[in-house]
Amino acid sequence: MRSLISIDDLTDDDLRHLVARSAEFSARGRGNRERPLTGDIVGIWFNKTSTRTRTAFSAGAQRLGADIVTYGPGDLQLNTGETIADTGRVMSRMIDVLVARTAADPAELRELAAPGTMAVINAMTSDEHPTQALTDLTTLRRHLGRTELFSLLYVGEGNNTAASLALALARFPGVALELRTPPGYGLDDDILARAKAHAARSGSSVVEHHHMDALPGDFDAVYTTRWQTTGTSKPDADWRRIFAPFQVTSALWEHSPKALFLHDLPAHRGEEVTAEVLDGPASVAFDQAENKMHSAMAVLEWCRSGATAVSRG
């Protein structure tokens, strides 16, 4: 039984397998007929709002043959004082996989997974969103035809999506990741150090600046996320002024005319991105949203099957 709580829980082979398998599911669309999770029960526990991730794992689990049990923010006895450890001990005797969004400390997910008989999947915590990174890589592979030798510009807050993206992209040779984050809102120092260590080993690069000056051109993809991340607040009352220069507009395509546009959604047109970009020909944001289901299926299968590096790409 394997869990996915951080991108760094994956070996290089695991990461490549999951992206390749996600791309296989994506290529089939809704035509998948494999049901390797028949007889399994998947718990879906979301303490925070979700459209894409919750739907992706619910639909994906059922498409793979599993039954699901859903829990809302007020459904578990955690609200009456039961410990995370005891909750994990109980759940692990009844269900096979727990998909959890807590937006809290990932240590809680590791406590839930501690009994070792229930896989736990991080559907977003305060520091990482690992299944989003798998979705992003799947989308890049489907549209670029590769997960190596490309450049990506990330513009916006160094949030949990940016963290997992950096940790994942840095594992692929020849990937150049340029992060432009507002001052005071960059990647966590530990995340940046881990990403740079991966990059040094793989032959990729991770660079972060806190301004939008002197941007290099010819990016293969431009990525942003919404400015108000689920479950968080900004320490600066005037944060919108600080973020304003980091809006993604069509001007970014002047020197990167063939670049794809990615966004993890939901989007606020006129804030982090203009409608012209989000709804324009470069945007693959809604393909990206669909790929959340395909990536969810790959992760669920991986947690239950023990498959590693079966698919190559």
Question: What is residue 310's predicted lDDT score, i.e. its pLDDT?
Answer: 38
Radius of gyration of the chain (CA): 19
Pairing of strands 205-209, 176-180: parallel
pLDDT of residue 309: 41
Provide the pLDDT for residue 312.
33
What are the domain boundaries of the chain?
7-128+292-305, 132-288
- Enumerate long-range contacts of 250-256, CB under 8 Å, 24 or more apart: 250/274, 250/276, 250/277, 250/280, 252/153, 252/155, 252/215, 252/219, 252/222, 252/277, 253/222, 253/277, 253/282, 254/217, 255/215, 255/216, 255/217, 255/218, 256/153, 256/217, 256/218, 256/219, 256/220, 256/222
pTM over 0.75: yes
Model pLDDT, residue 233: 80
What are the structure tokens assigned to 190, written together?
A: 């530990």
From 90-94, 110-114, 179-183, 232-236, the region with the lowest mean pLDDT: 232-236
Which is nearest to 140 in space by CA: 257, 20, 60?
20
Average per-residue pLDDT for the chain: 94
Q: For residue 119, which phi and psi values (nearest 5 degrees)?
A: -75, 140
Fold that domain 7-128+292-305 belongs to in CATH: Rossmann fold (3.40.50)
Question: In this model, does residue 301 exceed pLDDT 60?
Answer: yes
- Residue 306 scores a pLDDT above 70: no
* Listed range (7-21, 22-36, 110-124) with the worst mean pLDDT: 22-36
In 10 A of CB 181, how many CB atoms?
Answer: 21
Overall average pLDDT of the 112-137 stretch: 96
Q: pLDDT of 195-251, one tens digit each?
A: 999 999 999 999 999 999 999 999 999 999 999 876 678 989 999 999 999 999 999
**Do the two domains 7-128+292-305 and 132-288 of this chain adopt the same fold?**
yes
- What are the pLDDT digits (tens) for 241-299? 999 999 999 999 999 999 999 999 999 999 999 999 999 999 999 999 999 999 999 99
Share of the chain above pLDDT 90, in %: 89
| Mean of pLDDT values over 171-175 | 98
Q: What would the mean pLDDT of 4-30 be, rounded to a whole number?
A: 97
- The superfamily (CATH) of domain 132-288 is Aspartate/ornithine carbamoyltransferase (3.40.50.1370)
Q: For 44-89, write each residue's pLDDT tens digit.
A: 999 989 999 999 999 999 999 999 999 988 899 999 999 999 999 9
Task: Please choose, from the candidates 10, 60, 6, the residue with its C-alpha nearest in 3D space to the C-alpha of residue 37.
Answer: 60
Nearest-CA neighbor of 200 among 163, 179, 171, 178? 171
**Are 139 and 288 in contact, with CB atoms under 8 Å apart?**
yes
